[in-house]
Amino acid sequence: MPEAAGLNATAEVTPRCHHFGVCGGCQLQHLSQQTQTLRKVDAVRIRLQQAGVPSPTIETHTAAGYEYRNRIRLRVEGGRVGYSRFNSHDFLPIQECPIASPLLWQAAAALDNLAATTNLWPVGSKELELMTDGDEAALQLLLHVDATVVTLDRDTPRQFRDLCEGLRQRVPQTAGGGLLVQGELASGSRRVQERQRVEVARWGAPGLTFRVNGQAYAVSRGAFFQVNRFLTGRMVELVLNGRSGRAAWDLFAGAGLFSVPLTDRFDQVTAVEVGQPAATDLAAALRSAGQQHRAMAQPVLDFLKRARLATPPDLIVMDPPRAGLGGAITQELIRIGAPEMVYVSCDAATFARDARALVDSRYTITDLHLLDLFPQTNHTETIAVFRRG
């Protein structure tokens, strides 16, 4: 949709979730989706203006505003599941989450109910992540246990597997689960460093298969995958957009959402991902695509420093976390000087900061897309094309 076409900035609607206004998850359910999109376009444009970055017209891309999330992360307290209250860390037990895929909410409600009747949560249960593929064919769960308060005894893995079995009886799509310990174990032989997460028990299948534009992606439990099941295909189309050539780099590649289809269009694709288990998924996906493609399990900055003497690729795709690229990576990219770069960003402020450094160094933004990947929330997602003059 072209920027601001037919949008009504004051359109108010009835929020669909009865927790809206109290729950910290959503901020915009009282506004029509068109109004939300217009606000996000404004937010991105203002960030770019403040940073002094000339911007083309912003094209918008939207899909259904509810039931879109294929992953939710819930808190577990007193045997209940919930989110945090608005602007606070206080626990809010919840009975619905209409932005989640219906299967995720079915599983959350079943666990809430199971726990209330059978007290199946392992001691120290703190956070629960539920994930499903775009078609809701399979469900994965990750349970985070706070190891600073729990003694991990022989019973904990068994308790966890009982929880998974109990869930599968109620939600047959339940395919696999992992129990993660975070922090330092209070006792036991296995020491876990502060903030490090270790999977201490597992049940069933190790991951999910996502299908995007006809391509299958094997994604291990715990690896990143895009959360909006209705717009992931559009993201891939915008990144590919008829591009082809000799060499492409995909930085911050995850399990290979962009790298895999790039292998059909570029002679040699090099994809960089540091996080496990995504780096392992990426390596397997690129191995199947052919020996000429490479997966590098290392930080992007290290890769770019080592690539100093290489011929610049025709295309660099980069999709960093919210912190953006930062000064060091941006300077390496400027020095490498690829003719075209596609920057996928989930944070307008860090995007504007990085864009400023690139436009100061011979790059121009030729296309800018806003995808409403996170309806009902303030989060923005953009895809920008930079060309070197």
Ligand X SMILES: C[S@@+](CC[C@H](N)C(=O)[O-])C[C@H]1O[C@@H](n2cnc3c(N)ncnc32)[C@H](O)[C@@H]1O
Tokens 């962009």, residue located:
258
Decide: 368 and 55 in contact? Cβ < 8 Å.
Answer: yes
User: Whole-number minimum distance, CB 262 to ligand X, in Å?
Assistant: 11
User: Whole-number minimum distance, CB 231 to ligand X, in Å?
Assistant: 12
Q: Is 149 exposed, middle or buried (0-12, 13-18, 19+ CB in 10 A)?
A: exposed
Q: Kindly state whether residue 224 participates in binding ligand X, applying the rule CB under 6 A.
A: yes
Provide φ and ψ at 267, rounded to 5°: -65, -40
Is 136 annotated in a binding site? The answer is no
Q: What residues contact residue 3 under an 8 Å CB cut-off, 6+ apart?
A: 41, 57, 58, 59, 60
Strands (DSSP E) contained in 23-87 are 58-61, 71-77, 80-84
Decide: 143 and 162 in contact? Cβ < 8 Å.
Answer: no
DSSP annotation string for 208-235: EEEEETTEEEEEETTS---SBTTTHHHH
Which of residues 81 and 307 has its CB atom nearest to ligand X in the complex?
Answer: 307
User: Whole-number minimum distance, CB 76 to ligand X, in Å?
Assistant: 25
76, 104, 300, 316: which one contacts ligand X (CB under 6 A)? 300
Residue 97 designated active-site: no
Which one of 17, 26, 97, 346 is the catalytic residue? Answer: 346
User: Whole-number minimum distance, CB 218 to ligand X, in Å?
Assistant: 13
Cβ count near 84 (within 10 Å) = 14
Tokens 């930080």, residue located:
299
Q: Kindly state whether residue 274 participates in binding ligand X, applying the rule CB under 6 A.
A: yes
168 in helix, strand or coil? helix
15, 93, 275, 312: which one contacts ligand X (CB under 6 A)? 275
Q: Considering only 105-113, 154-162, 186-194, 318-326, which stretch makes contact with ligand X by CB under 6 A? A: 318-326
54, 102, 290, 299: which one contacts ligand X (CB under 6 A)? 299
Distance separating alpha carbons of residues 374 and 8, to the nearest angstrom: 19
Q: Kindly state whether residue 225 participates in binding ligand X, applying the rule CB under 6 A.
A: yes
Decide: 114 and 55 in contact? Cβ < 8 Å.
Answer: no
Q: Kindly state whether residue 321 participates in binding ligand X, applying the rule CB under 6 A.
A: yes
Give the interface size with ligand X as a residue count (CB under 6 A): 18
Which of residues 43 and 274 has its CB atom nearest to ligand X in the complex?
Answer: 274
Q: Kindly state whether residue 283 participates in binding ligand X, applying the rule CB under 6 A.
A: no
Q: Cα 119–74–152 angle (5° rounding)?
A: 50
Is 340 annotated in a binding site? The answer is no
Is 267 annotated in a binding site? The answer is no
Q: Considering only 41-49, 154-162, 271-279, 349-357, which stretch makes contact with ligand X by CB under 6 A? A: 271-279
Q: Kindly state whether residue 226 participates in binding ligand X, applying the rule CB under 6 A.
A: yes
Which of residues 174 and 350 has its CB atom nearest to ligand X in the complex?
Answer: 350
Which of residues 312 and 326 has its CB atom nearest to ligand X in the complex?
Answer: 326
> Taking the alpha carbons of 23, 29, 30, 31 in that order, is the dihedral positive or negative?
positive
> Can you name the residues that pair with 315 across neighbouring β-strands?
248, 340
Is 224 annotated in a binding site? The answer is no
Q: How many CA atoms lie within 13 A of 219 on its CB side?
A: 29
Residues 230-259 that bind ligand X (CB under 6 A): 252-254, 257-258
User: Whole-number minimum distance, CB 224 to ligand X, in Å?
Assistant: 4
User: Whole-number minimum distance, CB 253 to ligand X, in Å?
Assistant: 5
Residues 56-115 that bind ligand X (CB under 6 A): none
Q: Pick out the residues of the known binding site for S-adenosyl-L-methionine.
A: 226, 252, 273, 319
Residues with catalytic roles = 346
Question: Which parts of this chain interact with ligand X (CB under 6 A)?
Answer: 224-226, 252-254, 257-258, 272-275, 278, 299-300, 319-321
